Amino acid sequence: MVKAGIVGGTGYTGVELLRLLASHPQVELRVITSRSEEGTPVAEMFPNLRGHVDLAFSVPDIQVLKQCDVVFFATPNGTAMTMVRELLEAGVKVIDLAADFRLKDVPNWEKWYGMGHASPELVAEAVYGLPEWNREAIKGARLVANPGCYPTAVVLGFLPLLEQGLISCDGLVADAKSGASGAGRKAAVGTLLCEVEGNFKAYGVAGHRHLPEIRQTLGLAAGREVGLTFVPHLVPMVRGIHATLYGRLKGEGVNLQELYESRYRNEPFVDVLPAGSHPETRSVRGINTCRIAVHQPQGGDTVVVLSAIDNLVKGAAGQAVQNMNILFSLPETAGLEGIAVLP
């Protein structure tokens, strides 16, 4: 059994990790931390876990965490980087669900996240945890930087086209929509029910923190820098991301449907839908699947890719569990075989 600990278990990604790991056949939950909720039984805060998780929240104790095989950080940006080094030295594998180790350019990270990096020497070692792109590197990692939710949806959508050099690297557009849970479990006027219900708006047009992460990953896939316009939107729902992606094809005669089906044929968590389909966010609610459809409107030179994920699962906790499975040579689908909830 893999002994797992979670630092920061009270947010939305934290409770998703708890939900997934509690039913994982090869995981033993050892510790769940929260400074503010020390001593509170997990099932008291999250009643859906009653009968499944018997632990109480505790303050982070590095000596206790060292007894785990893997530690997940479901914490705000800037927390994991202050604790990771000691855990790695003790032989503990770390999966960070925040952004501390996603960007390889440390000064650029510091600019976008507004703080100094506490462990810049570990950034180069950290492996970007998008299994469909980086599986072999993940297998040997000590430190995994779990991708952001928007980057997961966008990169999986563009990846086959960029890998084959089929679209121009300039002028890419990602028009993405997310449910309110993407803002985290905190009190904020902008995500109050009365503010979100019946409303639809863009935000972060001048620059969203996920933009450099998306550009970095797409650039590595393409072998050169990409020009990307990324516009996120908030929609009145709890879960889900839908990304509509636009690119300009370089040539003619490519069967795009066949390209996507071939690229993702052996990927358990990417579902390429039949030609002409339109993926829905409700079809991925609660599961670790990205559903993709590719279109070439009117047979022109513009390709449109539709990508839908659950931002809390494939966009966060589910992908983290997928990475853990890879790290410990477990079946990649272990603990992640659920069916989406409808309606």
As a dihedral over the C-alpha atoms of residue 333, residue 65, residue 79, residue 29, rounded to 10 degrees, the angle is 40
Structure tokens at 30: 């050892």
154 lies in the same domain as 261: yes
CA Rg value for the chain: 20
Tell me if 3 sits within 8 A of 67, measured CB to CB. Answer: yes
Contact 147, 134 (CB under 8 A): no
Q: Residue-wise pLDDT tens for the chain (343 aa)?
A: 999 999 998 999 999 999 999 999 999 999 999 999 999 999 999 999 999 999 999 999 999 999 999 999 999 999 999 999 999 999 999 999 999 999 999 999 999 999 999 999 999 999 999 999 999 999 999 999 999 999 999 999 999 999 999 999 999 999 999 999 988 888 788 888 889 999 999 999 999 999 999 999 999 999 999 999 999 999 999 999 999 999 999 988 899 999 999 999 999 999 999 999 999 999 999 999 999 999 999 999 999 999 999 999 999 999 999 999 999 999 999 999 999 999 8
Q: For residue 190, what pLDDT is reported? A: 83
Do 40 and 97 reside in the same domain of the chain?
A: yes
Predicted confidence at residue 315, as pLDDT, reads 98
* 329 located within any domain: no
- Greatest Cα pair distance, the chain, in angstroms, is 63
d(CA 63, CA 100): 22
Tell me how far apart the alpha carbons of residues 212 and 37 are, in angstroms, rounded to a whole number.
Answer: 34
Q: What is the pLDDT of residue 117?
A: 98
CATH code where residue 173 lies:
3.30.360.10
Task: Give the per-residue pLDDT at 124.
Answer: 96
If asked whether residues 303 and 213 sit together in one domain, one would say yes
Give the domain extent around 157. 150-310
What's the confidence (pLDDT) of residue 262? 98
Name the amino acid, one letter, at 205: V
Residues 162 and 279 in one domain: yes
DSSP labels for 327-341?
Answer: HTT--TTTT------
Residues 60 and 165 placed together within one structural domain of the fold: no
Catalytic residue selected from 149, 169, 194, 290: 149
Dihedral angle, C-alpha 213, 215, 218, 220, nearest 10 ° = -80
Same-domain pairing of 170 and 253: yes
Indicate whether 217 and 251 sit together in one domain: yes
- Are 166 and 273 found together in one domain? yes
Residues 201 and 277 reside in one and the same domain: yes
Looking at residue 251, what is its pLDDT? 86
pTM (2 d.p.): 0.97
CATH of the domain at 121: 3.40.50.720
Residue 66 lies in a domain: yes
- Residues 154, 30 share a domain: no
Asked if the structure places residue 246 within a domain, the reply is: yes
- Do the domain assignments include residue 131? no
Query: Do 114 and 154 lie in a common domain?
Result: no
pLDDT at 192: 87
Total number of domains in the chain: 2
Q: Can you give the pLDDT at residue 255? A: 97
Do 97 and 172 lie in one domain? The reply is no
Q: Is 149 among the catalytic positions?
A: yes
